[in-house]
Structures are given as structure tokens and as C-alpha cells.
Amino acid sequence: MLKKLVGGILFTTFTFSQTTVNPQFSVIGDLVMDHLHKDPSLLTSGIEIAVQGYVNPFARADIYLHKHNDDSPIELEEAVMTIERGLPFGLGLRAGKFRPDLGKINQSHAHLFPFIEVPAGMAKILGEEFWSATGVETNVFLPLPWYSNFSLGYFDSGISSHDYSDYEKDEDDHDHENDHKDKDDHNHDDEKDHGREKQTNAFSIRWSHFFELNNVNHLELGLSGYSGKAEQILGADFKYKWRPNKYRSLTLQAEVLQHSLEDEYMEKAVHPDEKLTVAYAMVNFQFNKAYNFGVLIDYWSLGLADDEGMNPSIFFGFSPVEESAVLRLKIGQLERENDEKNHKKYLKTTIQIIWSLGPHKPHRY
């Protein structure tokens, strides 16, 4: 029902948009290699196509398509209409398929991460490609002296309908050619499971704050919540940025999510009171126009099962020509599960080359 309604809204807006100014097209291409692969198959490499434009003075439409570098079909990452001005009571609205306002990292596109890949802990809850769902979300500024935004969303598919198998496969044999095949298989599963997916309607809420401490210091704080079919997530996030001039900045960012599991996690039985806690903390220093360097700590734990993992990594970025091409390097610890509670640790080096055409860029200062 919701899908139909939202689809209808999108359809009308997109046909309407043809009568106005042309939308903007952007393409972001990336190439990722890591040394653990004997054959440097190009992992998550692929392209993202963004089409963005104003539908009318008050509504914007953003469509993101992703094509992996394999035989898999083009995926629709997001197709969302955003209304920021024009609704009563200063309400904002998003409708379509998009990344809900849950936590900080779920909303950002992976090519903006200075640390190349999704932090593994976060992926355990949000999925490798993060939570994107079809639904509607409304938000409002609270009448406070600082920027304080409250959002509430309703979606037709919850996080648990996310693809964990992908992730598990990744951990098990780390063979990405299989990985993509697996993804194809999963698409069929999706259709089969459609009934189940429909049941897992989900709500998300977020309350975020932004403080401009002074011209060069900014602080962001957020609290998030999620409620799906008999599962809950609570989250808190923090970002501090010091930016004394055009090209220098220091960013500290941390986020924690806690997932109350039902009785099963990644197809294994767990205690009904089990909670999965995941977190990351990042420091990123942009020391001049072209270079940045940082540290990421990635964490997860299953409280009752007394199982946890923590993986540090360092990363480095180089963008020679403004924001249009970025080279990133990450050296980090990687854990793989050998058997129950036995994590083998590896060192993994990952290189990413990312480029863009058009206004949607891989990197923001």
C-alpha cells in the first residue's frame, strides 16, 4: 500500500519535472582493491549515478542508482522526493525509497567515508549497504535557541529484512565473486520473502542538535530509535568539527547503536534478552587541501554471549584536484570467525580510487 502511494507521488513528480529545468546528472566511479585477494577482483567497485533536481520551487527529487562491476543488475539505491519548504508548521517531508534518518552514518553515502568501507560493527546492524527502505519521513525544527530537529519515519521494510547473508559470506570465505552471485540469489529470496518483508513495518525517530560553538567549532549530537517487528534499536551519535580555515579541519565522530535481538541473530539462536551493541569512533585530520589522515576504531559486542570484537585501522586520503578525484588507503585489522567465538585476526590493506563527474562529489571538506 505504502509502496504504491509513494510510487504514485514519485511518478507524478517525475513527470512534472520534465516541464521545468533539466535535472543535474552526476556519476561517481570507484575502484577498490585489497591485498587479501589473490586475484584483485574489483570488489565493490562500480559506479553510482545520481540524478538530482527541483521538481518545483519547494520539492526536490534525488535518484541514486548503483551498478556493481559484475553481471548484477542496476540497483536503485534511493529515489526520494524531499519537500523542505511549503508545508505548514515548518514541516519537512521525504517520501520514496531512501536511507532513513537513523543515526548519523546511515544517511551518508559510502563514497563520503574517509575510511573506504562501512565499519564492520555498524554493518552487523544496518547491513553492508546500510538501511534503505520505502516510506515516508517527516521532520520539524523544535523551537529551541539552537538547531534542533526531530524526525519520525514509517517504512514498509525493517532492518531485519536486510541482507545479512552477504555479510556472513564476506566473513566466511571473503570471496567476492561468490559474493555477487550470492547477491543475485538473494534478490530471488526477496521476492519469495515479500510477504514476510511486508509484515516488518518499521518506525524510526531521531532527535538531532547542532551547535555552532563559534566560527570554527561545531558540535552535533543525536539520539535515534527504531522499532520494527519485535525488535528495537537505540542509538546515540556525536560529531565535533574544528575548521580554522578553508582546508584544515579536525573531525571527531562517534556513534553507538544497540540492537535488542529477538531470539535469532544471523540464523543462529541467541538468548531472548541478547543485545548487540556496535560502535565506531573516528578522528580525521585534513591537514591541507590535498591530504587527510585518520584513525578508526570499530567495535561490536554480544552482551550475554560474551562475544566481542574491536578492530582499529588507520586511513589516509589524497585528493590532488579538488574534490573530483580521491585516492584512499586504509590499513586495518580484520577479524574472521573460524568457529564459535574464535576470531582470527588479519591485517588488511585496502586502496580506493574514486572519481566524479558533476555536482555529486566523493568528498566534502
Instruction: Report whether 362 contacts 355 (CB < 8 A).
Output: yes
Q: From the list 37, 186, 218, 275, which residue makes contact with other proteins (rule: CB under 8 A)?
A: 218
SS3 300: strand
Q: From the list 152, 236, 281, 290, which residue makes contact with other proteins (rule: CB under 8 A)?
A: 290
In the block, cell 590499513 appears at: 331
Residue 245 found at the interface with other proteins (CB under 8 A): yes
Shortest Å distance, C-beta 145 to other proteins:
9
Output phi, psi for 172, to 5 deg: -70, -60
Pick the stretch among 25-33, 86-94, 177-185, 194-202 that binds other proteins (CB under 8 A).
Answer: 86-94
Alpha carbon distance 282, 210 (integer Å): 19
Alpha carbon distance 365, 249 (integer Å): 8
Q: From the list 35, 229, 289, 344, which residue makes contact with other proteins (rule: CB under 8 A)?
A: 289
Q: From the list 247, 285, 293, 316, which residue makes contact with other proteins (rule: CB under 8 A)?
A: 247
Cβ nearer to other proteins, comparing 200 with 224: 224
Shortest Å distance, C-beta 322 to other proteins:
6
Q: From the list 11, 146, 318, 346, which residue makes contact with other proteins (rule: CB under 8 A)?
A: 146
Alpha carbon distance 296, 119 (integer Å): 8
CB neighbourhood size of 340 (10 A): 8
Residue 214 found at the interface with other proteins (CB under 8 A): no
- Choose among 331, 363, 335: nearest CA to 350: 331
Distances (CA, A) of 297 to 95, 233, 284, 312, 332: 34, 21, 12, 4, 9
CB neighbourhood size of 307 (10 A): 15
Burial category of 219 from C-beta neighbours within 10 Å (exposed 0-12, middle 13-18, buried 19 and up): middle
Pick the stretch among 1-9, 13-21, 85-93, 326-334 that binds other proteins (CB under 8 A).
Answer: 85-93
Shortest Å distance, C-beta 128 to other proteins:
29
Give, as ranges, the residues between 292 and 321 that touch other proteins (CB under 8 A).
321
Cβ nearer to other proteins, comparing 211 with 240: 211
CA angle 283, 286, 289 (to 5 degrees): 165
Instruction: Report whether 166 contacts 183 (CB < 8 A).
Output: yes
Q: From the list 18, 22, 215, 342, which residue makes contact with other proteins (rule: CB under 8 A)?
A: 215
Shortest Å distance, C-beta 85 to other proteins:
5
Pick the stretch among 29-37, 121-129, 207-215, 309-317 that binds other proteins (CB under 8 A).
Answer: 207-215
Cβ nearer to other proteins, comparing 16 with 141: 141
Backbone Cα Rg of the chain: 20
Task: Quote the cell numbers at residue 90.
Answer: 515548518
Shortest Å distance, C-beta 358 to other proteins:
8
Alpha carbon distance 316, 328 (integer Å): 6
CA angle 92, 201, 276 (to 5 degrees): 100
Alpha carbon distance 182, 213 (integer Å): 48
- Choose among 149, 159, 162, 136: nearest CA to 80: 136
Residue 268 found at the interface with other proteins (CB under 8 A): no
Q: From the list 172, 173, 273, 322, which residue makes contact with other proteins (rule: CB under 8 A)?
A: 322
Instruction: Sketch the per residue contact string, 98 through 137, with other proteins: x for CB under 8 A, - otherwise.
Output: ----------------------------------------
Pick the stretch among 73-81, 271-279, 282-290, 309-317 that binds other proteins (CB under 8 A).
Answer: 282-290
Q: Which residue ranges make up the site for other proteins (CB under 8 A)?
A: 58, 60, 84-87, 90-92, 141, 146-147, 149, 210-212, 215, 218, 220, 243, 245-247, 288-290, 321-322, 324, 357, 364-365
